[in-house]
Structure 1
Amino acid sequence: MRTQHSPHFLTAFPVYSSAFLSPTHLVLGGGGGASRTGIKNKLRVYEVGDNRSITLVDELELERGEDAPMSMATNLEAGNAGTLACGVNSPEDKLTKGENENCRVYAFKEQKLGLLRTHGTLVSGDLDDFQKVTVLSPDGKLLVAAGTNSFQLLTFPSLAPAAQAVKTDKEIYDVSFSQNTIVVATTDNLLVYALPGAESEGSPSKNKKKGKQRAAVLAELELLRTVDPPAAVSGATGSNFRAARYHPENSEILYTISNTIPARSRTKKAAPRHAFVCKWDTKTWAVVKVKKVGDKGLTAFDVSPNGNLLAFGSSDYSVGLLDAKTLAPLITILKAHEFPPTTLKFNPTSRLLVSGSADNTIRVISVPDSTGKSSWLTLIILLITILIVLLAFAAQQYLGKL
């Protein structure tokens, strides 16, 4: 299916993160990072028009020596509208003192961004660590800030710790909330944790303390299960998870993206790195659908707020849309960027999709109303065509016998 989309070049502004503050207000995070490239690190707010135009509304330049905003999240629930959480590492002199206020909350009021509060969440002690994942719960009351091998659950927007920080053996790539659980996608597996206070079937809470004593001690997040990559994806060489997202309206459905690990050989050319999207049943943690979407690794992923569409960005520079129910491909935009997409985000109405890249560009994509209907229409036309061909062949065979 064809769709309308518009590229926008942003001078000296590599884009690494994005989120919508409203159906029409887009915030972008980017810059040259902590290295001395001369490219300043900033948060920018744009007004996105119905014709996919963008107009700069506000620009907040970060302090010298701070890192680029590598991840961010917003939630439009009442009380949090216009509030942004993002990850920004402090300058190097603070990092060496262990004073990294990496998790930050900004408010967008009267067309201006302003810092509300900060909190340090990274526990690795590695100066190269950064907040690579920032995710808000569906009700906007909880926030997960994750570094390379650790994450912490915070209340939002206060940033008060809601549970003890958790270290993981493998690198973290994504986090997703349901009403009762958190799924953490690491390279090797999915880690499913119970939210504090949530009653999980067959897993009674281990924290029996009450009153002031219970409030004084941060709870440990309870690990409910570890889920390995599906065999249908891993094959002989294995695969790595790159994202995991619950269906926004049905927590019994989870989507993941995975990239295969090419077999190494000194004599043969490296095998392509296949990319897959999987649909999971979280009652049984079984994969119910698998779709191969390319021969290059996937770099970005998002689910539309209405739950109808999946968007992915590939290291072959393309952006694609899938039907969330069937995983059928709907739209592919080849050469959407000059570098692989770093961020993908639907707007709250699911009518727009924005992709960003370190090539200083974003692309605003109009999502057609009839996307799902068109995919079924295409299938029906294809079936009718096949039927006509079969009938013609049968008639030819019959006439040949006369």
Structure 2
Amino acid sequence: MAPNRKNIEDILARVNFPLYTVQLLTPRHVIVGGGGGTSKTGVANGFEIFELSHNGRKFLAEEVTRHETGGNVVMNCSTYSDNRHTYLVAGQESHCQLYNVNSVLVKEQKVVENGLNSDLKQRKPKAKEKTDANENVQKKLKFVITPADSVQTDFQQPEPLCRVVRMHHNGKLLATGGTDGKIKLWKFPGLEPLVTLKAHEKEIDDIDFSKYDNYLCTIAKDGLAIIWDAVKGKQLRKLSWKQPNGSKYLYKRCRFGVIEGANQKCAVYTLTNPTGLAKRQKAYLQQWLPEDGLLKKVAEFDESVSALAVRDDGRFLAVGTMFSGSVSIYAAFSLQRILNVPGAHSMFVTGLEFLPASQENENHTVCSVAEAAVLSISVDNQVCIHTLPYRKTMPLWAGLVILIFTLFLTFVFCSYIDL
């Protein structure tokens, strides 16, 4: 049974607006977005970027950049970085807004914490925190977010809305979906229209590209999940399953991953929630094979689910719930739950994002020795992180020694009782 960890998650940061989207900007920088909308509520709209670190006991987050978007709430975003450029795209009302993100070194006065309430020890400056000749001044990495092109992606009246934006992993393709049920593919970063897929009859809920194939998955409120060839713009198949007791389910989220140990074999994961008379029934996390549309594995939930993430190496999944605000981590291959954080947020989970696996040690995540770490956000204005401690396994030689010793004791005991 998976361990429960109630109310011991680390709250990394609190912002002054509801949060709807979270993405990694770099392996150590996370960007969150949200806001209070266009009405005059006094609640800001925009982004905040935090730098993540680990002090040996827990994760820490330091705000490095804040960018407000005026009257446009940020409901979704996607990022892409290469060796030269970092881009951010965000759905804002009926448009998809492109931002250029540039890193800069800024001189800041060094803060030295003293007193009984501080548990931080003075540390050497990081490489990106180069100390000047004056020891009290240091250079810190910050980001400048600059608006660039903007294109209208949804025309559904009376309130067009860009519901989802998603960057392809190669940085050359962008997909958007809105309330009109259409999927639009754009050349990136020029935002030149390529093709419009008449995909669904109702508004789009989620889109995702596969990493190693040309698959695109789309889901919408018409109850359909469709696999496409993203290059040809051709529908390949619809995902279908026998729903329990003839009830009606709607797909909520979709994410591609890689099945561990299967030579980069692609899998797509979906969240489905019951609707109407079926609301008291289970919600599901599902694993599919996109090449044939077969449903392979299923995990159940006692409440509706709202957020889904897959780690970059495909080993772990994270799921956030609607009513209890809980977060769970699953082994992607088996869909076995290995960590449960009940009540991680006071309201429903709106977004999840894994820290990537460390390149130095694939069994660790960046910044710490945890086996996995996932960020979660909610409309409760909080950014939290949940870690899976590294599960040490017994060496083979130790197992053999124990087995031989057990057999020896068994032989001695049998000889003693003349068996």
Alignment of 1:22-61 (within 5 A): 22-50=26-54, 51-61=58-68
For residues 144-194 of structure 1, give each alpha carbon's deviation from its aligned partner in whole angstroms, at most 9, with x where no partner exists: 121122221112222222223545203311112132221111231112222
Shift of 1:291: 1.1
CA RMSD in angstroms, aligned pairs only: 2.4
Q: Is there any run of 5+ residues in structure 1 with no aligned partner, and where?
A: 90-99, 198-220, 265-270, 375-402
For residues 95-118 of structure 1, give each alpha carbon's deviation from its aligned partner in whole angstroms, at most 9, with x where no partner exists: xxxxx5433233132122322423
Partner of 1:70: 75
Does residue 146 of the first structure (1) align with residue 146 of the second (2)? Answer: no
SS at match of 1:338: coil
Is contact 1:121–1:152 with CA below 8 Å preserved after alignment?
no
SS at match of 2:195: coil
Alignment of 1:3-402 (within 5 A): 5-8=9-12, 10-50=14-54, 51-63=58-70, 65-66=71-72, 68-80=73-85, 82-89=86-93, 100-110=94-104, 111-148=142-179, 149-164=181-196, 166=198, 168-178=200-210, 179-187=213-221, 188-197=223-232, 221-228=233-240, 230-231=241-242, 233-248=243-258, 250=264, 252-263=266-277, 272-292=280-300, 294-315=301-322, 316-349=324-357, 350=365, 351-370=372-391
Distance 1:108 1:27, change over 3 A: farther
Partners of 2:244 and 2:155 in 1: how far apart?
A: 30
* Aligned residue type for 2:96: N
Is contact 1:52–1:366 with CA below 8 Å preserved after alignment?
no
TM-score where L is the length of structure 1? 0.75
SS at match of 1:75: strand
**Which structure carries more strand by proportion?**
2
Distance 1:167 1:307, change over 3 A: closer
Partners of 2:87 and 2:389 in 1: how far apart?
A: 29
SS at match of 1:120: strand
For residues 250-307 of structure 1, give each alpha carbon's deviation from its aligned partner in whole angstroms, at most 9, with x where no partner exists: 453111111122417xxxxxx5242111111223211111111x22111110101110
Partners of 1:287 and 1:225 in 2: how far apart?
A: 13
SS at match of 1:284: coil
Distance 1:348 1:74, change over 3 A: farther
Q: How many residues are matched?
A: 329
Is contact 1:85–1:103 with CA below 8 Å preserved after alignment?
yes
Shift of 1:10: 1.9
**Which structure carries more helix by proportion?**
1
* Aligned residue type for 2:306: T
Q: Is there any run of 5+ residues in structure 2 with no aligned partner, and where?
A: 105-141, 358-364, 366-371, 395-419
Partners of 2:144 and 2:387 in 1: how far apart?
A: 27
